[in-house]
A and B are shown apart, each in its own frame.
Chain A
Amino acid sequence: MANMRRERDESRRAFALRACRALSIITLCLAAFSASAGEASANTSGQIGPDVEAVLQRLQKTMSSLTSLESGFVQRKSLAILDQELVLKGNLFVKRPAQLAWHVKTPLRYSMIIKDNVLYQWDEDTKKTTKSPLSKNPPMQKAVEQMKQWLSGEYLLLSREYEVSVIKSCPVVLKFVPRKSSVISKVIKSIEISFRPDEKYIQEIRIQEKCGDSTRLIFSDTRLNEKIDASVWEIPPRAP
């Protein structure tokens, strides 16, 4: 029995990793030194209008002083794969330059921590912690990189991968449409970011996916540049 349980656990972990690594494998398989066949992509540097650039620069400047972020979140996912809306509640922590923690409290406790370019994952169901270099998991790396750019206000950088427009100026709402050359364009249709009236931070992110799925990420109780408790970076996370 113990053996079977162990096998099951291992199998679970394996699948969790496999599914998450799906894209990483794809990407890595193209990374073979001598195994590539296409022409290099064209210069992807984004062209944005002066008005948009001014807004992005202003927001980026405002958020450039950000050293840490702590916020509660509610993520509402409308997914075709589910017959009802999936609502995640939890906390998000960012510490510059490269630490990120994503703790989901409901419907199931799940934690993801990026520290020193290592990805740690834990979930309440399996109670197992997985650890792997972030670079070995390109989809997660890409997702985390994007998250860090959104949350840190590096919008000029994002304009390389997205066409940016200003939907509303007060409070500011930006719309990002992935450029066709970007891998994100195959998944994401558009992303809208709404800022707080004081423009100090994001209020909400709306993601519209190509397949019709959508996600809203609403921030609450956001605290900027405050000392983050060390326990946040622990995995498995402390009991609530």
Chain B
Amino acid sequence: MKRSMPPFGKSRLVPPDIRPDWFSQLYGWIGGRRWSTLVSISILVIAALIGLRFVSFDADFDLIIPQNNQVRRCMRFLRESKLSDRVVLSFGLVSPEYTKNDLLQSVDALAETLKPPQITKIIGIASEANIMEEMLEFLSFAPQILDESALKEANEQITPDGVKKKMAENFRQLLTPASAVTIPFIRADPLGVKTGILSSLKTLSSSSGFDLLIENGHLVSKDGRHAMLVLETPVPLTDADGTRKLISYLRKQLKALPEFVSTDIIAAHLHTISNEEVVKRDVRLTIIIVSAAFLFLFLFVFKDIRAITIFIMPLVAVLMSINVSSFLLGSISHVAVGMGAVVIGIAADYGIHTYMAVRMKGPGADSIRAVAKPITIGALTTLGVFASLVFSSVIGYHHLALFATISIALCLAGALLILPQFWRAGDCSRFPGAFRFDERPSGAFPDYLLVALWGIIVLGALFFTLGVKFDSDVNQFDGSEPEIKEAERRFHDVWGGRDRPAILVCSGKTLEDALQLEEDVSGEATRKLGQKNFTRLTSVWPSKRTRGRNLARWNDFWRAGREAKLADLLREHGSEHHFSLDAFAPFFDDMYPKMNSSDWPEGLSFFESLKDQFVLKKDEGYQVLSYFPDDESSVSALTKISEHHSGTFIVSRSALSQAISDAVFSELLYLSAIAAVIIPLLTLLLLRRVKLAAIALVPVVSSLLIVLGAIPLFGMRLNAARVVAALVVVGLSIDYGVFMVYACHNRLRIGTSMAICISMLTTVIGAGALLFAKHALLFSIGQTLVIGVLAGYITSILVVPSLYRLWARPQGSSCT
């Protein structure tokens, strides 16, 4: 872990008889070639700087979301569903002087300019003019679509009263201004038997959750002041370079719009590049902050220009690590790189300790060898913590594990073998005086008071931990710039769509398989949720199996004398309202249609729209989507049903949130396992006494409780990033604890207590720099680290010595 071990001195815990001769030999070998080594490193640095241009920073959402099977399946579905690869342009009128027609004219003019390769299709309402004809044609499929209950309803209407009532209703329709539109439907369906299908279509249309009107082929808002274009682009969501070109192209085209038209670009693509840009900006900012703070700290404290190299070494290590990690992984998560400042803060400690050793004893191998072992052990514990991240379910943390491991390993090698070659011994008299931690400084608080105070604080923190809540909102992982989120807010204000429905996905090798599976599931689903709350394609287009059955039932129904009976009743009661003899001929002409053998009704463009919304063609087959309210009870009910039907799964925001919560909870369990088992074991192994190990663990427990208590206290929520940051805090705190117990037990006069303090400060500076980050994840990591490291360090400095003196100091030892 972060090295806080004494840079020199004898230790019962670190046996002095271990003499790494290989270390002296290696140190000497490099010392003989130090300038050529420097040149080599310089060349590597230049190469790494050039290499940065070719590093692929991956801002993919998947990398930073805790993964379990459900999350993975949801994310894969969303990624492959094409829904996320579309770009929406939302236009608005900014001046009341202009009308909807002015807006639509401008939108039309713009649409003309949007061309491949960036925009391959403008999704609109191509066939609005044919809608009536198409819908009338679609009603001819009613015999294949209508089920037994519809025929039962029809049967009840084929009576003198029923037909009489219907004729009166039909006649009333002729009095409305919209009668020209309704007459063809009355003629094709005098009893309204088929119009239930149209109601189902209406339900299907509203499943999108957006409020739209269609006017002359345009998507228009209800207030008539906004219009929308939906664009299809071949640029994948994850292609950052392609996205930049796409957005740049769109912005260029949008410049041609008149001033009275405002535009919002709504696209998941924007989040990809914005996250990447935000993290890059955060990395630049945090490195600048850390650089400035470190330079000030080292120059002010050490008053030696060579001390700058303490900082340069981790910077170089991080630079190289980015290149190597990216090379090995193919790309590197932006969040991993965003942690660069923290890694620098931690890795700088090795240089601080070797620098102090050289400053006091000179640059010889013996000086460095004296600190090499404790520094290496500390570094190994740090590496252990970061390496343990490979067990995390967050892929981005695997990247962080590799990135931090390489950085720390390089920095350790540099601090032990290279940097000391360029340092010289110097005056140490300015450094603060020594004191022994096993003795209470005169005038200090009594130990029992300190321990009691600590107990109160920890209990208080424990109390607040009861209020910890998980942040399961997917948006927490989105660090996009506020302008993008603001544009989306405006978009939803105008177009609705905030409460998007959940999706039940039914998969099959063929479309027929998928439709049949959906029919099997929908029976249970509609019983649980009700017809209105479960929007399914099979309500207007069942599987071939069902359509065949429906058609046979329809034919039998009318051939059983009902056709003639209805014709007689229509003649009789239609004449009361002067309906002509052939008024309802279209209904009888289409009474016995043939079975449609193809998958879809052909030539109906609106059905292409339905296919797009309800069916996904995959390499491995088809997925049929059904929509239902994304609330806890509905998702829970459908999840239970889905569990009994293989080939089905749920995609929902709330389910995804729950899955993320579960994943975060798993991460927390994992962290707890480390804290509760591995860390105590390691501590016991190092300290070899239960009491000492218990005291050394106090900073770990304190920092964890204070971090967890601070989360609700400051109105924050626990998320995956904080869990990982807490893991790092555990690693740092145990180091502080072990060191302090070590110092107390060995009665060390810590002449370099300042170095320990600086070590802590460098870590806090590295983590604190993240408090300036705009990306929410990096910011929350920074918050957690700063709180945790400070808590761990203060507990180590103040409480551990008191506890040691009260509980573990051997009898007869001196006590101040």
Q: Flag if A37 contacts B132 (CB, 8 Å).
A: no
Q: Flag if A36 contacts B612 (CB, 8 Å).
A: yes
Q: Flag if B212 contacts A187 (CB, 8 Å).
A: no
> Is B476 engaged at the interface, CB distance under 8 Å to the other chain?
no
> Is A131 engaged at the interface, CB distance under 8 Å to the other chain?
no
Q: Which residue of A lies closest to B201 (CB)?
A: A29
> Is B672 engaged at the interface, CB distance under 8 Å to the other chain?
no
Chain A neighbourhood of B435, CB < 8 A: none
Chain A neighbourhood of B177, CB < 8 A: 102, 112, 140, 143-144, 147
B169, B175, B187, B613: the one contacting A88 at CB < 8 Å is B175
Q: Flag if A110 contacts B175 (CB, 8 Å).
A: yes
Closest CB-CB distance, B578 to chain A, in whole Å?
Answer: 5
A28, A83, A157: the one contacting B205 at CB < 8 Å is A28
A185 touching B609 in the complex, CB below 8 Å, given contacts A32-B207, A32-B208, A34-B208:
no
Closest CB-CB distance, B576 to chain A, in whole Å?
Answer: 12
Chain A neighbourhood of B488, CB < 8 A: none
> Is A167 engaged at the interface, CB distance under 8 Å to the other chain?
no
> Is B209 engaged at the interface, CB distance under 8 Å to the other chain?
yes
Chain A neighbourhood of B202, CB < 8 A: 21, 24-25, 28-29
A121-B179 Cα distance, complex, nearest whole Å = 14
A19, A35, A112, A209: the one contacting B170 at CB < 8 Å is A19
Q: Which residue of B lies closest to A186 (CB)?
A: B132
Chain A neighbourhood of B497, CB < 8 A: 33
Bitwise interface map of A from 161 to 203 toward B, beta carbon under 8 Å scored 1, else 0 = 1000000000000000000111101111000000000000000
Bitwise interface map of B from 200 to 233 toward A, beta carbon under 8 Å scored 1, else 0 = 0110111111101110111100100000011000
- Identify which of A40, A157, A181, A186 gathers the most chain B CB atoms within 10 Å of its CB: A40
A37-B279 Cα distance, complex, nearest whole Å = 37
A34-B131 Cα distance, complex, nearest whole Å = 18
A15-B170 Cα distance, complex, nearest whole Å = 9
- The A contact surface, by secondary structure, is mixed
A32 touching B205 in the complex, CB below 8 Å, given contacts A25-B199, A26-B606:
yes
- The B contact surface, by secondary structure, is helix
A81-B167 Cα distance, complex, nearest whole Å = 12
B122, B165, B176, B581: the one contacting A20 at CB < 8 Å is B176
Q: Flag if B175 contacts A81 (CB, 8 Å).
A: no
A139-B208 Cα distance, complex, nearest whole Å = 21
A15, A112, A183: the one contacting B176 at CB < 8 Å is A112
Bitwise interface map of A from 66 to 102 toward B, beta carbon under 8 Å scored 1, else 0 = 0000000000010111111010100000000000001
Chain A neighbourhood of B130, CB < 8 A: 186
Which residues between 84 and 131 of chain A lie within 8 Å of chain B, taking CB atoms? 84, 86, 88, 102, 104, 108, 110, 112, 121, 123, 125-126
Closest CB-CB distance, A159 to chain B, in whole Å?
Answer: 11
Q: Which residue of A lies closest to B139 (CB)?
A: A22
- How many contacting A-B pairs (Cβ < 8 A)? 258
Closest CB-CB distance, B467 to chain A, in whole Å?
Answer: 39
> Is B186 engaged at the interface, CB distance under 8 Å to the other chain?
yes
A31-B496 Cα distance, complex, nearest whole Å = 13
Q: Flag if A36 contacts B123 (CB, 8 Å).
A: yes
Bitwise interface map of B from 171 to 203 toward A, beta carbon under 8 Å scored 1, else 0 = 111111111111111110000100100110110
A135-B171 Cα distance, complex, nearest whole Å = 24
Q: Flag if B208 contacts A31 (CB, 8 Å).
A: yes
User: Could you say which of A42-50, A54-62, A223-231, A232-240 contacts chain B?
Assistant: A42-50
> Is B95 engaged at the interface, CB distance under 8 Å to the other chain?
no
| A: interface residue count bin | 35 or more
Q: Flag if A110 contacts B176 (CB, 8 Å).
A: yes
Q: Which residue of A lies closest to B210 (CB)?
A: A33
Number of interface residues of B (CB under 8 A): 86
> Is A52 engaged at the interface, CB distance under 8 Å to the other chain?
no
Q: Flag if A26 contacts B123 (CB, 8 Å).
A: no
Q: Flag if B578 contacts A84 (CB, 8 Å).
A: yes
Closest CB-CB distance, B688 to chain A, in whole Å?
Answer: 65
Q: Flag if A29 contacts B134 (CB, 8 Å).
A: no
A143-B207 Cα distance, complex, nearest whole Å = 26
Q: Flag if A86 contacts B121 (CB, 8 Å).
A: no
Q: Flag if B172 contacts A108 (CB, 8 Å).
A: yes
B86, B129, B179, B183: the one contacting A34 at CB < 8 Å is B86
Closest CB-CB distance, A119 to chain B, in whole Å?
Answer: 10
Which residues between 126 and 142 of chain B lie within 8 Å of chain A, taking CB atoms? 126-135
Chain A neighbourhood of B187, CB < 8 A: 81
A16-B195 Cα distance, complex, nearest whole Å = 11
A33, A181, A213: the one contacting B217 at CB < 8 Å is A181
A33 touching B208 in the complex, CB below 8 Å, given contacts A88-B175, A121-B176:
yes
Q: Flag if B175 contacts A37 (CB, 8 Å).
A: no
Chain B neighbourhood of A102, CB < 8 A: 177
A16, A40, A140, A211: the one contacting B184 at CB < 8 Å is A211
Chain A neighbourhood of B459, CB < 8 A: none
B83, B195, B216, B612: the one contacting A161 at CB < 8 Å is B216
Sampled A-B contacts (9; CB under 8 Å): A23-B132, A26-B134, A26-B606, A30-B606, A35-B612, A80-B583, A139-B181, A185-B129, A187-B132
**What would 4 more interface pairs be, CB under 8 Å, given A16-B169, A34-B612, A38-B126?**
A15-B166, A102-B177, A142-B181, A211-B184
**Which B residues form the contact surface with A (CB < 8 A)?**
83, 86, 101, 105, 108-109, 111-112, 121-135, 165-166, 168-187, 192, 195, 198-199, 201-202, 204-210, 212-214, 216-219, 222, 229-230, 495, 497, 577-583, 605-606, 608-614
**6 A-B pairs with the lowest CB-CB distances in the bound complex, closest first:** A38-B126, A35-B613, A41-B217, A40-B124, A29-B205, A37-B608
